[in-house]
Amino acid sequence: MNLGIGAVGHVRILVLCALLLAGIDAHAQTDPLPSWNDGPAKQAIVEFVRATTDKASPKFVPPEARIATFDQDGTTWVEQPMYTQVVYCLERVQVVAEKKPELKNVEPFKTVLSGNREAMAKLSMKDLEKILAATLTGMTVEEFNAEVKKWLATAKHPRWNRPYTELVYQPMLEVMRLFRANGYKTYFVTGGGQDFVRVYSEQVYGIPPEQVVGSAGATQFGYDKAGRPILTKVPKLLLMDDKAGKPEGIHLVIGRRPVAAFGNSVGDKEMLVYTQAGAGARLMMLVHHDDATREFAYGPKSKIGTFSDALMAEAKKKGWTVISIKNDWKKIFAFE
Amino acid sequence: MNLGIGAVGHVRILVLCALLLAGIDAHAQTDPLPSWNDGPAKQAIVEFVRATTDKASPKFVPPEARIATFDQDGTTWVEQPMYTQVVYCLERVQVVAEKKPELKNVEPFKTVLSGNREAMAKLSMKDLEKILAATLTGMTVEEFNAEVKKWLATAKHPRWNRPYTELVYQPMLEVMRLFRANGYKTYFVTGGGQDFVRVYSEQVYGIPPEQVVGSAGATQFGYDKAGRPILTKVPKLLLMDDKAGKPEGIHLVIGRRPVAAFGNSVGDKEMLVYTQAGAGARLMMLVHHDDATREFAYGPKSKIGTFSDALMAEAKKKGWTVISIKNDWKKIFAFE
């Protein structure tokens, strides 16, 4: 047990350790971002981390203020042809309908159960909300976690035929590790469900549940029939963590303005604007999907992950760095 | 810059450092809780921290799960004769009324401005809500922070004539430090306003803003007249972090069940119940205000910080440890 008290008599040992550990840093010459090609994007990241952690630099950021936020879908893992969580919800409709057969003849469940992709693509936002409520609420937090875990263990992405959790971008994992190794807290700030992402964020990205900000529904505390305390997920939205909801979610959960923010679409614009508006060193980056061969290339009219022409113009005007998957990433996935 | 990569060639230095640092622990015999009298409460804390951080113990808790939550009012600082934040809001009514003179003739502001303590004590919950909305919302997050900071610098507690931030319980500061020194993340889970507590929590308690869970209102992202992005506090309650709201707030912001929880009133019961229901080692403690001479002694009918007879019975039944201020605390405040 550490007693938490300055052991003054042992300062010499601590100084010795600090010197020895500093020696390790000074001698490690390994590239911290091996999956990145040399270029302005890689350089911007490495230089930002160096400058903000160098006490002699005017850009130095004190350790407690080192907050870096990352969007998830399209920024740290594949989001095409459909958000992973939406795939989960659509596939869960089967399970839910087995328990509640009356849903089989009710829209939008009927359409989802038909498997008719064309009809499903036409479902409205209101339909999707009904599907989310039916598949993401009405169970305890533990039941939900267990269901998502089970699904992730077997579900596979149609293009690569691999688990969704393998479709994370190796270059972004390296960025997150580099930030953390330099005293940054890395946070997800995702439009996806906070509870959904928390299930795998620690194992897949090294981001603990308490550092996941996402769209969040309410829970309700109560007791089950056996008198055990439970938290039940209820269909009441507390935070829609997209667009203006991103800085609002950051304030709600983190309470500090990030100094670095990574996104990939119009849904991330407000997070980058908010990040940039703080004093001192700032880093704003956008992943641009321009590699149809190795991943996807989506135009400004893509239904998800929209990278509009206006966003590209804004990035240029505001000095945000655009990451070209085609040019900046030597490798996209760990399995390549 | 730390490159975040295992420097295999330097393992020997790391091992040496580990051995030297372990030596410090083994030799430090200083009492980690010097403001506590020996007794079952102190023993429960020290033994819990020892057992949960000892890899050989069946009660070992892995570092990532080490979450300890603390109520604030009445648990880590004085809450009598009035919650500090309520004092703030009542005093802010003056400032708000200067900017909006029309409020001077409108209730409940008229009563507050009269200074008639007897009339003020009779204000209803609805009146209080109007006062909270008028004094805690309608400004940017930065403006609010600046106002609270300014107030804290001059406001004084009527009994001790000292700033409220000096009326923190030294024994509880020691407990927080002991937990943190042993790899625990310490969180506030307070019925008080999340934004209010965040203003001073890092400086006063060593708890960073991102580890404050409290009653939270929404913010709204937008732009000011100069085109600068701002977050405005709006009168929409997202989380009432009291009673059942405490486990709900813990799930929203932390997403993990705590292994240790400290409270002092019926408002903390659900947090302790929720904490206890997890698997493995658990610590649930309640501060009992039974020292009218050095602090306050409140009976079961106190308007704030209610420690009812039912709560005392529940603590006994469930094996929660009750901290007697009179008997367990050698010293209450740092300035004594």
Tell me the per-residue pLDDT of B168-205, one tens digit each, with 9 for 90 and over: 999 999 999 999 999 999 999 999 999 999 999 999 99
Interface of B with A in 238-257 (CB under 8 A): 238-239, 244-245, 247-248, 251-256
Contacting residues of A for B53, CB less than 8 Å apart: 1-2
Using CA atoms, how far residue A78 sits from A65, A87, A164, A183, B159, in Å, is 30, 13, 8, 27, 60
What mean pLDDT value characterizes chain B? 92
User: CB–CB of B1 and A185 under 8 A?
Assistant: no
Closest C-alpha to A314, from A251, A272, A257: A272
User: CB–CB of B3 and A181 under 8 A?
Assistant: yes
Q: Judge whether B192 is closer than 8 Å to chain A, CB to CB.
A: no
Q: How far is B119 from chain A (nearest CA, A)?
A: 35
Find which of B14, B19, B24 to mutate to test the A interface (most A CBs within 10 Å of its CB): B24
Stated pTM of the model: 0.92
- Burial class of residue B113 (count of CB atoms within 10 Å of its CB; 0-12, 13-18, 19+): middle
In Å, how far from its chain's centre is CA A33? 19
Q: Judge whether A199 is closer than 8 Å to chain B, CB to CB.
A: no
User: CB–CB of B252 and A219 under 8 A?
Assistant: yes
Q: Where are the beta strands (DSSP E) in B3-58?
A: none
Nearest CA in chain A to B12: A20
Is residue A109 a contact partner of residue A135, using CB atoms and an 8 Å limit?
no
| Measured distance CA(A250)–CA(A273) in Å, rounded | 13
A–B CB contacts, 8 A cutoff, strictly below: 181
What strand order describes the sheet that includes A260-263? A229-239, A212-223, A185-193, A67-70, A260-263, A283-288, A321-324
Residue B27: what pLDDT?
A: 47
In Å, how far from its chain's centre is CA A103? 33
User: CB–CB of A274 and B1 under 8 A?
Assistant: no
Residue A27: what pLDDT?
A: 47
Contacting residues of A for B32, CB less than 8 Å apart: 3-5
Residue A90 backbone class (left: φ over 0; alpha: ψ -120 to 50; beta: rest): alpha
Q: Judge whether B142 is closer than 8 Å to chain A, CB to CB.
A: no
Find which of B3, B16, B60 to mutate to test the A interface (most A CBs within 10 Å of its CB): B3
- Pseudo-torsion of CA A174, A61, A214, B216, nearest 10°? 160
Q: How far is B158 from chain A (nearest CA, A)?
A: 31
Interface of A with B in 12-41 (CB under 8 A): 13-14, 16-17, 20-21, 23-25, 27-28, 30, 32
Report the share of chain B in percent with pLDDT over 70: 91
Find which of A143, A180, A251 to mutate to test the B interface (most B CBs within 10 Å of its CB): A251
| Measured distance CA(A164)–CA(A322) in Å, rounded | 25
| Measured distance CA(B302)–CA(B52) in Å, rounded | 36
Residue B8: what pLDDT?
A: 47
| Measured distance CA(A90)–CA(A96) in Å, rounded | 10
Which ipTM was obtained for this model? 0.91
Q: How many residues does this entry show for chain B?
A: 336
Q: Judge whether A51 is closer than 8 Å to chain B, CB to CB.
A: no
Find which of B15, B19, B177, B251 to mutate to test the A interface (most A CBs within 10 Å of its CB): B251
H or E stretch covering B189: strand B185-193
Residue stretches of chain A with pLDDT short of 70: 1-29
Find which of A5, A141, A144, A272 to mutate to test the B interface (most B CBs within 10 Å of its CB): A5
Q: How far is A284 from chain B (nearest CA, A)?
A: 15
Give φ, ψ of B82 to 5 degrees. -155, 145
By Cβ distance, the residue of B49, B67, B210 closest to A256 is: B210
Residue B323: what pLDDT?
A: 98
Is residue A48 a contact partner of residue A260, using CB atoms and an 8 Å limit?
yes
Residue pLDDT, tens place only, B4-24: 554 444 555 555 555 555 545
Interface of A with B in 271-300 (CB under 8 A): 273-274, 277
